[in-house]
Structure 1
Amino acid sequence: MSSLRAKIQDVFNEPACEQNRGKDAKARKEGCSKPLTPGAAAGGCAFDGAKIVLQPITDVAHLIHAPLACEGNSWDNRGAASSGPTLWRTSFTTDLTELDVVMGQAERKLFKAIREIKEAYGPPAIFVYPTCVTALIGDDIEAVCKRAAEKFGLPVVPVNAPGFVGSKNLGNKLAGEALLDHVIGTVEPDDAGPYDINILGEFNLSGEFWLVKPLLDRLGIRVRACIPGDARYFDIACAHRARAAMMVCSTALINLACKMEQRWDIPFFEGSFYGITDTSEALRQISQLLVKKGADPEILGRTEALIAEEEAIAWKKLAAHRPRLEGKRVLLNTGGVKSWSVVHALMEIGIEIVGTSVKKSTVEDKERIKQILTDDNHIFEQMVPRELYAMLSEHKADIMLSGGRTQFIALKAKTPWLDINQERQHPYAGYDGMVELVRQIDLAIHNPIWRQVREPAPWDCQPAVRKELPSTKSETATLHVVQDFAGTTADDFGEC
């Protein structure tokens, strides 16, 4: 536990953060994460965060050393996609019971599970995750993994991030530390070149990275390792020989980028592949970093030619949607890198942003939003469901973009909603991804179902009063409410 405590304190020391550098030594060690409330997961525990970062490594076995529920509740919690191996889709757990804990059999059961995975699947590596239970009973995960690696002749990586140590974001960073300590730099590639880069913090949700990688391929830029989206163990082990890196989600893996720059002199920048302008700027910065590290400057010209070609195609496709979406109002209830990157992307086609949340966003993310949205009233830290519902029911937004947890607020307010988080079914990165995002927004806003659901139900319509002609038996006209609708026409009823 002492080594884990030291690792956590080291993670909080982020030299790339200007705010952290301005603190005194004591305050710097405390970090910026909010303390957890006892009994609350704060959006996810550290184990959940570590699993999110490492599970998209597709060819390794992910073994959870814990009771069954820890793996059952965390499996497949991201919509990452794989272009090949499917081993990451298989759940492995030691399935500890009370008897294992009481009798001290947990470590032996872990060693046996590693052996069974090695014999049945033969993966290039096995990642072992302790959880609250196994950490509290004092299982020495690192010792077991070291012994198993020697015995079975394959890397067995301990990911020391039990849930109780902190939030999901801390778990993201501890997963990065595990890669630094046990994976990156363990293999020397024989094909390192001047155009090799790393992409950090890209999860390949719904196959998004597959819309970006062909652009890099056309420039002759090789992605040495995309961490973690659609990654392979060997690629990550060789990642230290890349010449430059792009950080997509700094909230999750900024510590990984900083330490790779310190150890192996791999410069990095933070960018986004959401939106036409941001995608073009990311390609430019990648090329510029490679030139600074010794690549041929002619790549800068090829990059500009590619950008001009792709932007022209994208804007031509977007022209059909602009008249239908210009002036439409969007409420963005997400966080992290999407809090500013998606905002910029939508404003490019004339969509108005009425609000964006900055929950889980870094200080740098918030500064970018302020540069894009000059009105601070459009920026909110967190909006409770009641306020979201009030804003939508008063028609202050034409559509809400958010995660699945708040979709029912929009549906109750009879407002279009589009999934922008990890559960989404469509990729939105790159030039083609931007076109797809706009197309989905267009489809959602103009779906005829919204006009229908906003109309009153037929049974809420008040029947009209119908006047009868004077009968031969009476000289006065009589009025009565229609009780039997049979044989009547639409003119017999009043408006709803």
Structure 2
Amino acid sequence: MKNSQEEINNLLNNTTCEHKQPTSHNNKKPTCKKPPQPGAAQGNCPFEGAMVALGPITDVAHLVHGPVSCTRNPWGSRGSLSSGSKLYQIGFSTDLSEQDIIFGGEKKLYQSILEIAKRYHPAAIFVYATCVTALIGDDIDSICKAATDEIDIPVIHINAPGFIGSKNLGNRIGGDALLKYVVGTASPEFTTPFDINIIGDYNVAGEIWNVLPLFKSLGIRVLSKITGDARYEEICHAHRAKLNVVICSNVSLKIAQKMQELYGIPYIEESFYGVENMSRCLRNIAAALGKLLGDSSAARYLKERTERLITKKTAALDMALAPYRSRLEGKRIVLYSGGIKSWSIILAAKDLGMEVVATSDRKSTEDEKIKIKQLLGQDGIVLSKGSPKALLQVLKDTKADMLVAGASNQYTALKARIPFLDINHERHHAYAGYDGMIEMARELYEALYSPVWQQVRKPAPWEQKIGDLAEESTLN
């Protein structure tokens, strides 16, 4: 799959994109693109973004065509879990050497694909281009087509080398590849009026497993998960769903929009974080499916079942959260994350009686930015960029009790001598759904009331001794 500049611009040109601007005075519409910054490859590379988006497809072999060093970061930094195949956890690489770079790596790529097919029998093989193989001009498309004919397994080229843009672009290239080469290539044995796709959840720490039982109890079938704990075959079936539920708008909305255009599948944007968000999500899904069913007994019964389930779950949750709410109420949080978590965690904190005094609007759509400002109120602080120095100042100014952010910011919290909770994709705790709220409350409580903070905030022994001597000298 070759990405022309026109195709790249089309992926980025989204009505919800934060960089989309109105037509200028000379009638030229500026291209919606966010160029990479020197030195910002880690966490901002299209190759990594593509692997993050597609890596959770568990029965696929993900082969990186390039130096072995390119494999490590996206493969090892996201905690997407699987209920079945563990093939996605194997890091495959063609491991190009200097000689391969000089003479080309096509032969090595072809041999690697054949070897993977022979030893692991994957449902498909995704081949990821890197900066090196894109620069030396390897014809990956032709190799993938030839290998597909040879092994009778889909071999798909994911053309997202690191120099073409940002990580977000890589996410979208990965989703576009699924639409072009996977979705619609097979059909399920049967369909139901209650089939949905979940788009944009990567099952970090097993979060999707907190939500799937809720849908099952309502009689709603998740036909395809794109892509958390997904299987290749289920994504092939995604075009037969009746509704798409988008979890991360900034990354996955383009997939839902394209599926609506191609297959007529409507979509809604939802969140699984927080009691209010989860209840609203269930109601909105029931309403959207009910609308498709019309004024029927099945639609009315689905609505009734949904309300009964929400009542039952929230009542049990109130009892489970009561001990935590009494200790967390009134605590102030600075939240520094991106995308959906920038606003949905605000509501989750409010469910626990806590207050988010500052958050970021990174990776957020314009609609999400408006939502953030509404939830924070007039006194809330919105951070566009959060350097350690800026975060330390905000923590001091707001008198925050805790920093909730990605793992890279934990040292900032240590400098400020306040508790820290990891909310990003490196975490090992599932916060989605009703059960996830209990886990989040437990983690917040344990972080805030750890005895270590009393110790680190005390003066050092030598400082205490100096203070005692000064006080004694004053008295004398």
Q: Structure 2 vs 1, CA of residues 213 and 28 (structure 1 numbering), >3 Å: closer, same or farther?
A: farther
Partner of 1:488 in structure 2?
none
Q: Report the AA paired with residue 102 of structure 1.
A: I
Query: What is the correspondence of 1:397-412 to structure 2 with a 5 Å cutoff?
Result: 397-412=400-415
Are residues 1:63 and 2:63 paired?
yes
Residue 51 of structure 1, CA deviation: 0.5
Q: Report the AA paired with residue 31 of structure 2.
A: E
CA distance in 2, matches of 1:30, 1:124: 37
Q: Name which structure has the greater RCO, CA cutoff 8 Å, separation 6+.
A: 2
Q: Report the AA paired with residue 401 of structure 1.
A: V
Partner of 1:381 in structure 2?
384
Deviation per CA, 1:80-106, whole angstroms, max 9, x where unpaired? 1111100001111111111112123x1
CA distance in 1, matches of 2:41, 2:216: 41
Partners of 2:18 and 2:365 within 8 A in 1 = no
Deviation per CA, 1:260-285, whole angstroms, max 9, x where unpaired? 11111111111100000100010111
Match of 1:337 among 340, 365, 374: 340
Partner of 1:197 in structure 2?
196
Partner of 1:150 in structure 2?
149
Secondary structure of 2:128's partner? strand
Partner of 1:472 in structure 2?
none
Partner of 1:109 in structure 2?
108
Residue 220 of structure 1, CA deviation: 0.8
Q: What TM-score do the two structures reach when normalised by structure 2?
A: 0.93
Q: Structure 2 vs 1, CA of residues 464 and 50 (structure 1 numbering), >3 Å: closer, same or farther?
A: closer
Secondary structure of 2:356's partner? strand
Name the count of aligned residue pairs.
469
Q: Structure 2 vs 1, CA of residues 42 and 124 (structure 1 numbering), >3 Å: closer, same or farther?
A: closer
Partner of 1:229 in structure 2?
228
Partner of 2:172 in structure 1?
173
Deviation per CA, 1:122-147, whole angstroms, max 9, x where unpaired? 11100000111111111121111111
Partner of 2:31 in structure 1?
30
Q: Report the AA paired with residue 230 of structure 2.
A: A
CA distance in 2, matches of 1:395, 1:38: 33
Partner of 1:434 in structure 2?
437
CA distance in 2, matches of 1:72, 1:271: 32
Partners of 1:12 and 1:28 within 8 A in 2 = no
Q: Structure 2 vs 1, CA of residues 39 and 385 (structure 1 numbering), >3 Å: closer, same or farther?
A: closer
Query: What is the correspondence of 1:477-496 to structure 2 with a 5 Å cutoff?
Result: none
CA distance in 2, matches of 1:132, 1:463: 58
Partners of 2:244 and 2:266 within 8 A in 1 = yes
Q: Structure 2 vs 1, CA of residues 38 and 453 (structure 1 numbering), >3 Å: closer, same or farther?
A: closer
CA distance in 1, matches of 2:420, 2:474: 33
Q: Percent identity?
A: 46
Q: Report the AA paired with residue 437 of structure 1.
A: M
Query: What is the correspondence of 1:213-292 to structure 2 with a 5 Å cutoff?
Result: 213-292=212-291
Residue 219 of structure 1, CA deviation: 0.5
Q: Report the AA paired with residue 375 of structure 2.
A: I
Q: Structure 2 vs 1, CA of residues 299 and 140 (structure 1 numbering), >3 Å: closer, same or farther?
A: same
Deviation per CA, 1:362-404, whole angstroms, max 9, x where unpaired? 2121011122122264212123211322343567100110111
Partners of 1:13 and 1:28 within 8 A in 2 = no
Partner of 2:320 in structure 1?
317
Query: What is the correspondence of 1:52-131 to structure 2 with a 5 Å cutoff?
Result: 52-104=52-104, 106-131=105-130
Say what the alpha-carbon RMSD is for the aligned residues: 2.4
CA distance in 1, matches of 2:200, 2:142: 29
CA distance in 1, matches of 2:10, 2:413: 41
CA distance in 2, matches of 1:64, 1:52: 13
CA distance in 1, matches of 2:399, 2:253: 36
The more displaced of 454-463 and 331-340 is 454-463
Secondary structure of 1:127's partner? strand
Unaligned segments of structure 1, at least 5 residues: 466-480, 482-491
Residue 204 of structure 1, CA deviation: 0.6
The more displaced of 353-362 and 11-20 is 11-20
Q: What TM-score do the two structures reach when normalised by structure 1?
A: 0.89
Residue 356 of structure 1, CA deviation: 0.5
Q: Structure 2 vs 1, CA of residues 74 and 19 (structure 1 numbering), >3 Å: closer, same or farther?
A: closer
Partner of 1:49 in structure 2?
49
Are residues 1:454 and 2:457 paired?
yes
